[in-house]
Chain A
Amino acid sequence: GAGVSQSPSNKVTEKGKDVELRCDPISGHTALYWYRQSLGQGLEFLIYFQGNSAPDKSGLPSDRFSAERTGGSVSTLTIQRTQQEDSAVYLCASSLGGWGYEQYFGPGTRLTVT
């Protein structure tokens, strides 16, 4: 079956511009996660959606970052006024339930801010 998909696969943007990254989770998965990974580093948690509950936004690094999940499915991560330190691979994952469940990851979006 279809896995988690993300678009675009690569995004180059100028400092100060806004970007939107999209994640299509596996159908039927109630939980969706956003992470980012800088070069040579582990994954940094950003935000977590679970069903109809309020999202856990505790990992968002600043108020320039926001995310929404429409209809319990597709999610968009928005970064406003991008900075060079935002350059990283942004990974999305989904799972059948919450944190204790196996997470299925997408291929990621590589964001480069010039």
Chain B
Amino acid sequence: DAKTTQPNSMESNEEEPVHLPCNHSTISGTDYIHWYRQLPSQGPEYVIHGLTSNVNNRMASLAIAEDRKSSTLILHRATLRDAAVYYCIAGGNNRKLIWGLGTSLAVNP
């Protein structure tokens, strides 16, 4: 199971972009990179996932390094509602997802 490494915490200002890094140097060729976030006192919610190419959706963008050993979740304009713990997970494709401690993102007004 691929292990991921994320900073414990990050801080951003409202309406500024946020880049959340993730290292997954032991990722296998078939592992997807998944991002979820968890708001206080709620279950996690899906943000985005990808395999090799960069991905965009209404919530965020996912930039995946060419060697796939790292990725970056990009929130284009942070809002107060984006304050949450962000989890980067490598797995899927019949391999279970192993959740780490994530990055706690604080957004300043």
Bound complex: CA of A102 vs CA of B49, how far in Å?
8
Q: Is the CB of B102 within 8 A of A42?
A: yes
7 CB < 8 A contacts A-B: A4-B43, A41-B101, A43-B99, A91-B44, A99-B97, A104-B46, A106-B43
Residues of B that sit less than 8 Å from A by CB = 32, 36, 42-46, 49, 87, 91-102
Consensus secondary structure, chain A interface: loop
Residues of the B chain whose Cβ atoms lie less than 8 Å from the Cβ of A104: 46
Q: How many residues of A contact B (CB 8 A)?
A: 24
Q: Is the CB of B49 within 8 A of A45?
A: no
Which 4 residue pairs spanning A and B have beta carbons closest together?
Answer: A105-B43, A100-B92, A43-B99, A42-B99
- B93: contacting residue among A41, A44, A56, A99, CB under 8 A: A99
